Amino acid sequence: MDFKRRNGGPLAGGASHAKRGKGMNDWEDSPSQFEEELLMLDEAEMDSEEMEGQAGHDVIPVGDLFSADLNPRWRRPHAPSLDPSSDTLVFQQIDLDYYLGSAVAGMPGQSQGKVPIIRMFGVTDSGNSVCCHVHGFAPYFYVPAPSGFTSAYLGEFQRELNSVVLKDMRSNKDNISVTVLAVDITHKENMYGYHGKQSLDFLQITMAMPRLIAPAKRLLEQGFKFGPFPLQCYQAFEANIDFEIRFMVDSDVVGCCWIELPKDKYRLREEKNVSLCQYEVDVGWTDLISHPAEGKWQRIAPLRVLSFDIECAGRKGIFPEPDKDPVIQIASMVQRQGETEPFIRTVFTLQTCASIVGSQILCFTQEKQLLQAWAEFLRTVDPDIITGYNIQNFDFPYLLNRAAALKVNYFPYLGRIRNTKSVLRDLNFQSKQMGRRENKTINMEGRVQFDLLQVLLRDYKLRSYSLNAVSFHFLQEQKEDVQHSIITDLQNGNEQTRRRLAVYCLKDAYLPLRLLQKLMCVINYMEMARVTGVPLTYLLSRGQQIKVVSQLLRQAMKQDLVMPVVKTEGGEDYTGATVIEPEKGYYSVPIATLDFSSLYPSIMMAHNLCYTTLLQKGSVQKLGLSPDDFIKTPTGDQFVKSSVRKGLLPEILENLLSARKRAKAELKKETDPFKKQVLDGRQLALKISANSVYGFTGAQVGKLPCLEISQSVTGFGRQMIETTKKLVESKYTLSNGYQADAKVIYGDTDSVMVKLGVATVSEAMEIGREAAEWVSSHFTPPIKLEFEKVYYPYLLINKKRYAGLYFSSSADTHEKMDCKGIETVRRDNCPLVANLINTCLQKILIDRDPQGAVDHAKEVISDLLCNRIDISQLVITKELTRTAQEYAGKQAHVELAERTPSMCWRTTFPSTHNTTWSSSCPNPSKLRVSCSVSQHSHAILFSGLPPY
DNA sequence: CGCCCCCCCTAC
DNA sequence: TTAGGTAGGGGGGGCG
């Protein structure tokens, strides 16, 4: 039941490793490893292709003029001419938005005034960019028709609603004359609650613009009167759906899918192009074909990914400020998705800079020109995805503010729409998952901003999120060693010192690309977009709920079910899972672990739990249901069986899980590593999506909470883990001929740890498998208990805190030492503690030497108190602390790590809440350390004051 | 010192 | 104008 990918890497921070020790004076001795890499890239290219315009021009001094033709590689491949009467246009859509614009002649939809137009951006197989304007789709929502309503009243309803919405507008700067485009009668059913499948008359109200939906909904809710009907309040349905999602659901488009525009069905813009894309077309919304991401439509277009990093010359000890401190270098690397190396590597520098093999350097004498030229470069390269490290909250805002300060007027046009300025905005995002997070946003139409830091913050739990630490963790590679404090000095030196800075800057642009590739971010995010149906950008800018909403709407539409708008109000929490009281201790016998796979999804499927199957109070009598038609859950809630109506949520879950099975099967067969990656990303996305459905129903401040569902799910779960314990303990007994009475010593939510009383791992595995199968037969499919692993030996410290040697594939050798909840896996302890405990656990579990663990712990602590600890192992974090203080200045919150048993500083970055540890504590009297080993459990405990 | 609450982070 | 859930360990601080 993983809700989040975990940090699966090695224990961070502990290992000591030599850093390239270069001070100001010894930098020129030898090229760094990174420079050698760049050289190799250069040589590889020399071998494989003719060098057209680049050879011999590694350093280009640029005066007042800047030409985009400096390097022919910058441009996208030539776009062959397109004839809409004979050619279809096929592209992978990667971004989708809408705008208000004038209707285009010949396209469907309103012709008067401003109309909403969907815009899709994408790339063809040959790498050409596409901007596609989709016409004729208008926003709408539903309300139940009042009783006695007939089509004769439609006109009156529309006129009256139109008039109240107009009256409600405080200003009408767009000069809107028609707000309600249409009102139609449709047959729909409220998805919330089972009402005997009667479909009712609903009014589908189509508005002229998305932003008119909210006032229309509000006016109808507050009380609306028209014609002969009395004043009444109307409950709105689907009035809170983002317009992009509405369009995608209705046209069966999912994020990052392939779009086909059949010949004769679209128009090519030969003039009046508003975008920088190579093809710009118009199409009616019903004329485009969306291909489900299956078979050949799973492929990914050769997208251009740009990674960049900027350097600024700050003043001593002050965080750079864009109104004062100049941008001195911008390094950029561009790579095609699917290729292994960037084909553009360039640095824009202020003042001269010595050449770097394998990269192109453009030197500027004026900062203004540098910025101008880089913006031009970006528009020429025309990337689909822009990455970097913290570009969202640092590099882009800094560039925009700096360009504004220097009045570089053509700088802030970074999107693909010519006349749309990129503007900086503050965004406050708050969720329970991620806490409160203040972010900045910059609009960049048609390009996906894929800030690697944001990806890592969302998907990985790490001890440190600095680029250096992250690179070391995932790539075993680090940044070029340049202290921020000397950047300005390097800039003010000569072309060699600036060269050193440029190498550093290039590497900071290179590392995000490497990480993106290593973590398969682009592929995994695309697969998530395809599986859940939301645009790629939503995955980084929005929460979890929108993904479920998108799937729910798609499933509901097939059955003419509509989603109500519910007002969000927090209520009482409901009861969750059971954690079996642990029999704490050290077990020198094998402990078998049995798990329910996908527990909550399988409960929802097995018992048909859904909005559409929920029987609200009195429904059983009202609908005259027989006891065979419905079930009563452990929490007393009632749901109709699938024989009466199959729920939407179970359907969604079945689709997700069966698709996951297919993806895993295909993954097994597939030999192409690239396709394998896609499939693996897909199965992961499917698993995560299935797990988030339950959370959605329980999200009380959410789009459609239903506590009857979520509390029934956990209720079944509690019942099941109890039943499992009883079943196992009743069958595996001495009296039934087994070696011992089995005992469930622990269990959490969906698992039981069983002491079977056997001596070997293989026996435990054998009985474990048999027990899992036998217990499964007592539950409704697809609920299934599985044998997962054997721990041997096993140290059970407390609820949610244990460690053991993990056996699953082989009974002969353990795969790892598995630690749960202990200091070794927590990020709020300094690495020293984690390492100490880790070593102690190894001594206890692997060496089976508890006394050795005690001795080791005592030794470390005594070393610590006598200042004998070698702090070199903290060298990485030491550097990070300096970074924090120098970069964040007074903003960096530095406090004594009083609670930690080591001499550490704790440094918290205000922006990321990222905590790092470093160096000696200047006040050892605050130190609080002790170590004791409990006689019963052999557990290492740290508490209280030291024996000094 | 015990008790309660808050905070952080983890296990599911 | 936007946000997935509960259980639970363990440190630390305030309070009586």
Distance of CA A659 to the CA centre of its chain: 21
**Nucleotides in C strand less than 7 A from protein CB:** 1-13
How many Å from the CA of A919 to C1' of B9? 24
Mean pLDDT of A612-626: 91
DSSP A61-106: EE-S---GGG-TTSSPPP-----TTT--EEEEEEEEEEEEEEPPTT
How many Å from the CA of A179 to C1' of C14? 59
What is the SS3 assignment for A576-614?
A: CCCEECCCCEEECCCEEEEEECCHHHHHHHHCCCCHHHE
Nearest to A623 by CA among A608, A636, A639: A639
How many Å from the CA of A432 to C1' of B5? 20
3-state DSSP: chain A helix, strand, coil percent, rounded to 5?
35, 20, 40
Nearest to A352 by CA among A339, A365, A341, A340: A365
- Tally of helices (H runs) and strands (E runs) in chain A: 22, 36
Mean pLDDT of A578-594: 93
Mean pLDDT of A21-40: 63
Q: In CATH terms, is domain A566-802 a member of 3.60.70.12?
A: no
How many Å from the CA of A714 to C1' of B2? 34
How many Å from the CA of A941 to C1' of B5? 24
In this complex, the nucleotide whose C1' atom is nearest to the CA atom of residue A695 is: C4
Mean pLDDT of A712-739: 96
pLDDT level of residue A616 (50, 70, 90 thresholds)? very high
**Residue entry with tokens 């192009």:** A273
Which of A529-538, A681-690, A714-723 has the lowest average pLDDT?
A681-690
pLDDT level of residue A480 (50, 70, 90 thresholds)? confident
Measured in degrees and rounded to the nearest 5, phi and psi for residue A772 equal: -60, -45
What DSSP element (H or E) covers A188?
strand A180-190
How many Å from the CA of A638 to C1' of B5? 37
A97 bridge partner residues: A119
Q: What confidence tens digit (pLDDT) does each residue in A353-410 have?
A: 999 999 999 999 999 999 999 999 999 999 999 999 999 999 999 999 999 999 999 9
Q: What confidence tens digit (pLDDT) does each residue in A286-317 have?
A: 999 999 998 899 999 999 999 999 999 988 87
8 Å CB contact between A601 and A691? yes
Say which CATH topology domain A140-247 has. Answer: Alpha-Beta Plaits (3.30.70)
3-state SS class at A49: coil
Residue nearest to nucleotide B7 (CA to C1'): A828
Measured in degrees and rounded to the nearest 5, phi and psi for residue A554 equal: -65, -45
Nearest to A284 by CA among A138, A181, A136: A136
In this complex, the nucleotide whose C1' atom is nearest to the CA atom of residue A749 is: B12
Rounded Cα distance between A754 and A791, Å, is: 10
**Residue entry with tokens 């096929």:** A90
Rounded Cα distance between A852 and A873, Å, is: 23
Task: With a cut of 60, say whether residue A1 has pLDDT above it.
Answer: no
Task: With a cut of 70, say whether residue A259 has pLDDT above it.
Answer: yes
Q: What confidence tens digit (pLDDT) does each residue in A144-200 have?
A: 999 999 999 999 999 999 999 998 887 777 778 889 999 999 999 999 999 987 889
Domain residue extents for chain A? 33-74+303-519, 89-137+251-298, 140-247, 566-802, 828-941
DSSP state of A544: S
pLDDT level of residue A671 (50, 70, 90 thresholds)? confident
Residue nearest to nucleotide B8 (CA to C1'): A828
In this complex, the nucleotide whose C1' atom is nearest to the CA atom of residue A435 is: C3
8 Å CB contact between A692 and A548? yes
Rounded Cα distance between A848 and A552, Å, is: 53
Q: What confidence tens digit (pLDDT) does each residue in A547-567 have?
A: 999 999 999 999 999 999 998
Task: With a cut of 50, say whether residue A485 has pLDDT above it.
Answer: yes
Mean pLDDT of A246-255: 97
How many Å from the CA of A92 to C1' of C3? 31
Task: With a cut of 80, say whether residue A906 has pLDDT above it.
Answer: no
Mean pLDDT of A108-118: 87
pLDDT level of residue A862 (50, 70, 90 thresholds)? low
pLDDT level of residue A7 (50, 70, 90 thresholds)? very low
How many Å from the CA of A469 to C1' of C9? 28
In this complex, the nucleotide whose C1' atom is nearest to the CA atom of residue A434 is: C3
Rounded Cα distance between A184 and A585, Å, is: 68
pLDDT level of residue A33 (50, 70, 90 thresholds)? confident
Rounded Cα distance between A718 and A579, Å, is: 9
Task: With a cut of 70, say whether residue A891 has pLDDT above it.
Answer: no
Rounded Cα distance between A945 and A948, Å, is: 8
Which of A103-112, A364-373, A692-701, A919-928 has the lowest average pLDDT?
A919-928
pLDDT level of residue A858 (50, 70, 90 thresholds)? low
How many Å from the CA of A888 to C1' of B11? 34
How many Å from the CA of A764 to C1' of B3? 44
How many Å from the CA of A932 to C1' of B1? 21
How many Å from the CA of A624 to C1' of B4? 51
How many Å from the CA of A397 to C1' of B3? 49
Q: What confidence tens digit (pLDDT) does each residue in A752-793 have?
A: 999 999 999 999 999 999 999 999 999 999 999 999 999 999
DSSP state of A224: B
How many CB atoms within 10 Å of residue A851? 11
Rounded Cα distance between A855 and A851, Å, is: 6
8 Å CB contact between A753 and A592? yes
Scored b (16 or more CB within 10 A) or e, A512-542 reads bbbbbbebbbbbbbbbbbbbbbbbbbbbebe
Rounded Cα distance between A899 and A926, Å, is: 9
What's chain A's Rg over C-alpha atoms? 31
pLDDT level of residue A573 (50, 70, 90 thresholds)? confident
How many Å from the CA of A898 to C1' of B1? 22
8 Å CB contact between A264 and A294? no
Scored b (16 or more CB within 10 A) or e, A706-716 reads bbbbbbbbbbb
Instruction: Report CA dihedral (A683, A685, A690, A692) to the nearest 10 degrees.
Output: 160
Name residue A763's amino acid.
E
Which of A238-242, A664-668, A771-775 has the lowest average pLDDT?
A664-668
Nearest to A484 by CA among A354, A306, A345, A328: A328
How many CB atoms within 10 Å of residue A56? 6
How many Å from the CA of A433 to C1' of B6? 18
Rounded Cα distance between A207 and A898, Å, is: 60
pLDDT level of residue A325 (50, 70, 90 thresholds)? very high
Which of A244-248, A281-285, A799-803, A891-895 has the lowest average pLDDT?
A891-895
In this complex, the nucleotide whose C1' atom is nearest to the CA atom of residue A747 is: B12
The residue with greater pLDDT, A165 or A25, is: A165
Question: What homologous superfamily is domain A33-74+303-519 in, according to CATH?
Answer: Ribonuclease H-like superfamily/Ribonuclease H (3.30.420.10)
- Six token digits for residue A932: 């004791």
How many Å from the CA of A530 to C1' of B12? 27
Rounded Cα distance between A93 and A283, Å, is: 14
pLDDT of A582 = 92
Task: With a cut of 50, say whether residue A938 has pLDDT above it.
Answer: no
pLDDT of A158 = 95
Residue nearest to nucleotide C3 (CA to C1'): A431
Q: How many CA atoms lie within 13 A of A946 on its CB side?
A: 18
Q: What confidence tens digit (pLDDT) does each residue in A404-425 have?
A: 999 999 999 999 999 999 999 9
Rounded Cα distance between A674 and A517, Å, is: 11
8 Å CB contact between A223 and A114? no
Nearest to A240 by CA among A473, A540, A549, A458: A549
pLDDT of A30 = 63
Mean pLDDT of A485-512: 93
In this complex, the nucleotide whose C1' atom is nearest to the CA atom of residue A827 is: B9
8 Å CB contact between A511 and A439? no
8 Å CB contact between A519 and A681? no
How many Å from the CA of A827 to C1' of B8? 9
In this complex, the nucleotide whose C1' atom is nearest to the CA atom of residue A462 is: B9
pLDDT of A934 = 28
* Portion of chain A with pLDDT greater than 90, in percent: 61
Q: Are strands A801-807 and A785-798 parallel, antiparallel or unpaired?
A: antiparallel
What DSSP element (H or E) covers A775?
helix A761-776
In this complex, the nucleotide whose C1' atom is nearest to the CA atom of residue A751 is: B12
Measured in degrees and rounded to the nearest 5, phi and psi for residue A21 equal: -80, 95
Task: With a cut of 80, say whether residue A276 has pLDDT above it.
Answer: yes
pLDDT of A446 = 96
CATH number for the region A89-137+251-298 comes to: 2.40.50.730
pLDDT of A60 = 66
How many Å from the CA of A946 to C1' of C16? 27
Instruction: List residue ranges whose Cβ is under 7 angstroms from nucleic strand B.
Output: A 1-4, 6, 461, 577, 595, 599, 748-751, 800, 819-821, 825-828, 913, 915
Task: Provide the mean pLDDT of chain A.
Answer: 83
**Residue entry with tokens 């199957």:** A613
How many Å from the CA of A450 to C1' of B1? 53
Nearest to A631 by CA among A605, A659, A609, A654: A609
Task: With a cut of 90, say whether residue A812 has pLDDT above it.
Answer: yes
Residue nearest to nucleotide B10 (CA to C1'): A821
Burial of A495 (0-12, 13-18, 19+ CB in 10 A): middle
pLDDT of A865 = 53
In this complex, the nucleotide whose C1' atom is nearest to the CA atom of residue A703 is: C3
In this complex, the nucleotide whose C1' atom is nearest to the CA atom of residue A914 is: B8
**Nucleotides in B strand less than 7 A from protein CB:** 8-12
How many Å from the CA of A460 to C1' of C2? 23
In this complex, the nucleotide whose C1' atom is nearest to the CA atom of residue A214 is: C1
Rounded Cα distance between A360 and A346, Å, is: 5
How many CB atoms within 10 Å of residue A420? 18
Nearest to A806 by CA among A821, A823, A789: A789
Q: Is A776 left (phi over 0), alpha (psi -120 to 50) or beta?
A: alpha
Mean pLDDT of A614-635: 92
